[in-house]
Amino acid sequence: PGTRKNDIELNDETVSKEHAAIYYDNAKKEFSIANESATNPTRINGVAVSGPTIVQNGALIEVGRTVLLFKKS
């Protein structure tokens, strides 16, 4: 199992402890996500993420069987 401390943890056996990471670029004022799972892809609006991918407001983020709605406030 992963050893890092996560800000968000999901109760879903199809999501690994180190499944994906979301980053904020302060200079560009945008969020991106990177898949870190070797077995289950992370998807944005149904498309598998292969490298760091910008996440737009209202995007659906799929990790395992869980779907998250991304909202910037």
Q: Closest Cα partner for 33 from 4, 5, 63?
A: 63
What digits encode the pLDDT tens for the residues 27-53?
999 999 999 888 889 999 999 998 899
The rounded mean pLDDT for the chain is 90
Structure-model confidence comparison of residues 5 and 25, the more confident one: 25
Model pTM score = 0.84
pLDDT, average across residues 5-21? 87
Q: Closest Cα partner for 19 from 57, 59, 54, 68?
A: 68
Quote the pLDDT of residue 17: 81
Q: Are strands 53-55 and 47-48 parallel, antiparallel or unpaired?
A: unpaired
Res 2 pLDDT > 70? no
Token couple for 5:
């401390």
